[in-house]
Structure 1
């Protein structure tokens, strides 16, 4: 029973850190978005990050919160 509680707690913590605000844009490994560096992510309507582009290098992504893109 204790093990099940630990798993549920860890699952909830993981879900809360992966959630985002719909319509938000970010670069990989920034503002809660997953990696890789240099990728462009958009938060979808379900609160999950979705990779939309992979820039040409790890420092080529830029984001303003409401917009993101590649510039190398």
Structure 2
């Protein structure tokens, strides 16, 4: 876990939230590989784009609440 810098991390639920800016193909691949590594140690990553956060904040926050509830039952 120390090797990764996450935007938001809820350690009790092993839940990472990432807000992605503009992408180029190389970055998308690196992010996917990191998500796989985090998954291998039990951390679930959910991703949102900057546009999703800026344009549909309520939808994003509702989705995060749902993820927290689901994750609290899984852990």
Q: TM-score, normalised by structure 1?
A: 0.28
> Which structure has greater strand proportion?
1
Structure having the higher Rg: 1
> Which structure has greater helix proportion?
2
Higher relative contact order (CA 8 A, sep 6+): 2
